[in-house]
Amino acid sequence: MVGGGGNGGGCDGDGGHSRRPRAIFMAFGTRGDVFPIAALAAAFAQDQRQYSVVFITHSAHQSLSTHLADCNVRYMPVSSPPVLAAEQLESISCDSVQSNVEHDSFSQRKKIIQVEHRKECLSAVEDVFGNDMSTHELFQVKCIIAAPYFVPYSAPASFERQFKQSLPLLYKYFQEAPLNMVCWTDITHWMWALFMESWGSWRNDSLNLSPIPFTDIGRSALIMGFLRNPKAFLMVLKDVIEKTDYRFILFSSGYQPLDSAIQSVASSVAESSVCQASALHCDIAIHHAGSGSTAAALFAGVAQIACPFLLDQFYWAERLHWLGVAPEPLRRQHLIPDTDNASSIKNAADMLIGTIKSALSSEIKAQAIRIANKLSSEDGIGEALRILKERVLPQSES
């Protein structure tokens, strides 16, 4: 969001009131979601020094604060987690009365987190722009959306028909809107969710806006995914090691069930050590196809094996295969079988061995290097900054 000085007098980078124009960058999710937007915020602050720049994200990304401060960006944390704990997800299946209770409890907890997250974000924005201003929509500032990945979900099949029946004039407006304005393509691509009841009630109850966007008169979510069976995963790797001359460097971000499994399995492995290494020292990067892991491996120029678990990971996994830097994506059970019996472990290990052999082909390795060389010559932040300035800044400031 980018706003002018205004009568509300937002807070500057030092916490005092200022008539400087203000720009808010908000990013939520894991590091792969947040870090690209943080880099863009830092570049904007360095390029547009007349702006007071604020970055709002999860408190879990506190490590960003020092770098952002060095770039004159004010870091404002919210307490919501980047993702919900894997343990909560793992305890949920759909085959018992107990699991239904757990599912209801998880759903309720998720709703509470969403409500608190929105409340904290609103409070942070009010702190910057001032909470006494007239109510883009509430604060009358320009907005631009930057998605680090392809939106992995689509509107319900009946959405357009119901929208057209319920809001015929608004439907006509979006259909006829020029390309530089919000149009029906934007609605069906990602904005459709804002017209659902969960957002409508929040707009009405918390923002005092119409439940339906654009109808206010006069107002212009861990490494390798979450592991249901860490022990089985490690047994697969152990079986591959015993059958081949391959060696693995396993990166863990402190997921306790995985760490415990590592300790129990490591005692039966001849050699175990804690390694600090980068993908540059490896022949293949095997990962869950999160946007951050995907980008790191692409820049490193190594072949990849993707095993997606949820959301955008399936998109990135398919994209890696399409680019020619990875074989076809593994299915979850090919890397992390549901059970750790001998048959399941053997089948998964054989599949992984075959996939590793494919990834080590001269064609894939050469393509990975070509892609890395191409990426090294790009200025992604500079290009994003150019587009941002073009879209939201007045011509006199850009």
* Per-residue pLDDT reduced to its tens digit, 328-367: 988 888 888 877 788 888 888 888 888 888 888 889 889 9
Tell me how far apart the terminal alpha carbons of the chain are, to the nearest angstrom: 16
Q: What is the mean pLDDT of residues 296-303?
A: 87
**Ranges 34-38, 63-67, 122-126, 255-259: which has the least confidence:** 255-259
| pLDDT score for 91 | 43
If you average pLDDT over residues 291-310, what whole number do you get? 85
pLDDT band at 73 (very low <50, low <70, confident <90, very high): very high
pLDDT averaged over every residue in the chain: 76
Least confident of 82-91, 115-124, 248-257, 295-304: 82-91
Closest by alpha carbon to 39, among 53, 21, 58?
53
pLDDT given at position 135: 41
pLDDT at 15: 42
In this structure, of 35-49, 72-86, 247-261, 298-312, the range with the lowest mean pLDDT score is: 247-261
Q: Residue 239: what pLDDT?
A: 85
The tens digit of pLDDT for each residue in 74-104 reads 999 999 988 765 444 444 344 444 455 555 6
Bigger pLDDT: 246 vs 270: 246
pLDDT at residue 278 above 90? no
- pLDDT for 293 equals 83
Mean pLDDT of 371-382: 86
Q: Which residue ranges form the domains of the chain, and what is each CATH number? A: 21-83+109-148 (3.40.50), 149-225 (no CATH), 230-269+282-376 (3.40.50)
Task: Give per-residue pLDDT as tens, 163-186.
Answer: 888 777 788 888 887 767 788 888
What interhelical angle do 230-243 and 342-359 show, nearest 10? 60
Residue type (1 letter), 34:
V
pLDDT at 229: 74
Q: Tell me what the mean pLDDT of segment 47-55 comes to.
A: 92
pLDDT of residue 149: 64
Residue 58: beta bridge partners?
78
Whole-number pLDDT of residue 242: 83
pLDDT value of position 134: 41
Provide the pLDDT for residue 78. Answer: 93
d(CA 258, CA 252): 8
Of 1 and 247, more confident: 247
Q: How confident is the model at residue 314 (pLDDT cuts 50, 70, 90)?
A: confident
pLDDT for res 148 = 62
User: pLDDT tens, 194-232?
Assistant: 888 778 778 777 777 777 777 654 333 223 444 667 778
Which positions ≥6 away from 344 have C-beta within 8 Å? 232, 333, 337, 338
Long-range contacts of 338-342 (CB under 8 A, 24+ apart): 338/228, 338/229, 338/232, 339/229, 339/232, 340/229, 340/231, 340/232, 340/235
Most confident range, picked from 70-74, 114-118, 124-128: 70-74
How far is Cα 276 from Cα 209, in angstroms, rounded to an integer? Answer: 51
The predicted-structure confidence for 103-123, as pLDDT tens digits, reads as follows: 567 778 888 888 889 889 888
Say whether pLDDT at 16 is over 70: no
Q: Which is it for strands 284-287 and 303-306: parallel, antiparallel or unpaired?
A: parallel
- In three state form, how does the secondary structure of 307-328 look? CCCCCCHHHHHHHHHHHCCCCC
> Can you tell me the distance from the alpha carbon of 17 to that of 14, in angstroms, rounded to the nearest whole number?
9
Please choose, from the candidates 128, 70, 152, 201, the residue with its C-alpha nearest in 3D space to the C-alpha of residue 316. 152
Measured distance CA(39)–CA(272) in Å, rounded = 36
| pLDDT of 130 strictly over 80 | no
Q: Does residue 126 register a pLDDT over 80?
A: yes
Of 70-74, 99-103, 300-304, minimum mean pLDDT range: 99-103
pTM of the model: 0.55
Residue 17 has pLDDT above 70, yes or no: no
